[in-house]
Amino acid sequence: MQGDIVSGVLLPLILAFIMFSLGLGLTPGDFRRILAQPRALLVGVVCHFVLLPLVCWLMLQALGIGGVFAVGFMILAACFTGSTSNLLTYLARGDVALALSFTAVASVLTIFTLPLIVTWALGHFLGAARAVDVPVGLMMGQVALVLGLPVSIGMAARHRYTAWALRFEPRATKVATLLFVLIVVAAVVKNWALLRDNFNTLAPFAVVLNLGMLALGFAVAWAARLSYRQSVTLGIETAVQNAALALVIASTVLGNDAMAIPGAVYGVLMYGGGLLFALTMRRFARDHKMEAAHAA
């Protein structure tokens, strides 16, 4: 009964607040701004919504990881970027405006892409019969409820009560970060035996996926002749995932706590890789000759 309350009530409410805090930091201008740089958006969409799930699947196939853990990693790969990516972008001296814009666009696209990827993963790794139990339409509605509605309310509050929203948003972000930590801790405690027995497999996979996507996102953006700051930003946006959403999808929508373990592991380890990447890129950002040579 206690587990049902945590999975069915507390996790969705916590995620709703996290999404609400994200909405407080967004305005319609963030969506319009991305239209001024459509190439950066297109590259980001390809990296995040195509390459990340594809690389994740290829790694799972290569290492022979299957079952609920494989589905858990695919759920994580299907989520949109974590809100902390904006902070890491700032630390890396990346393009914060692009990060905010991409987060806004990705949060909307995920409502449609996540159910499709997760339903496919259920069928591929657990068998087609299991996938039938999760209709795409139902999951899409649930994802829209836990994502779109809180973000919309946050944006509406920012528009209607701008002064209050600007004062409250930094505090809301801190509270949201704390709540995310609580979600991860709760998932770890609840499934400690499962995590302990599989940590040696899941942790290396999570680290390699995280570092690999940081590098791949940057490389693809750089090859597309985006600026150095934009390339740094898209590297972060490609690899820093909304692990809280992955936990809610696994535990609440699908009702399988084991599927939440990959999200919990990645949600902790990605900050180490993200911070290392941000500080490294920040050091190189001081050398303006890199961008000048690239643009020449």
Q: What is the pLDDT of residues 63-120, one digit of tens each?
A: 989 889 999 999 999 988 876 777 678 778 788 778 877 877 887 788 888 888 988 9
Place of tokens 């690999």: 212
Q: Domain 2-288 is of which CATH architecture?
A: Up-down Bundle (1.20)
pLDDT of amino acid 47: 94
Rounded Cα distance, 155 and 80, in Å: 18
Inform me whether the pLDDT recorded for 18 exceeds 90: no
Rounded Cα distance, 128 and 290, in Å: 50
On average, the pLDDT of the chain sits at: 79
Contact predicate 8/252, CB 8 Å: yes
Residue 61: both structure tokens together = 């196939």
Place of tokens 């693809």: 220
Rounded Cα distance, 111 and 126, in Å: 23
pLDDT of amino acid 137: 57
pLDDT band of 287, cuts 50, 70, 90: low
Query: What's the mean pLDDT in 143-150?
Result: 69
Phi, psi of 95 (to 5 degrees): -90, 95
Inform me whether the pLDDT recorded for 285 exceeds 60: yes
Query: What's the mean pLDDT in 168-176?
Result: 76
What confidence tens digit (pLDDT) does each residue in 181-218 have?
676 676 667 667 766 777 888 889 999 999 999 999 99
pLDDT of amino acid 5: 52
- pTM score of the predicted model: 0.74
pLDDT of amino acid 223: 95
Radius of gyration from C-alpha coordinates of the chain: 18
Query: What's the mean pLDDT in 247-274?
Result: 83
End-to-end CA gap in the chain:
63
Which sequence spans correspond to the domains of the chain? 2-288
What confidence tens digit (pLDDT) does each residue in 20-60 have?
777 777 777 766 766 776 888 899 999 999 999 999 999 99
Contact predicate 110/78, CB 8 Å: yes
Rounded Cα distance, 193 and 45, in Å: 37
Strand partners, 81: 241
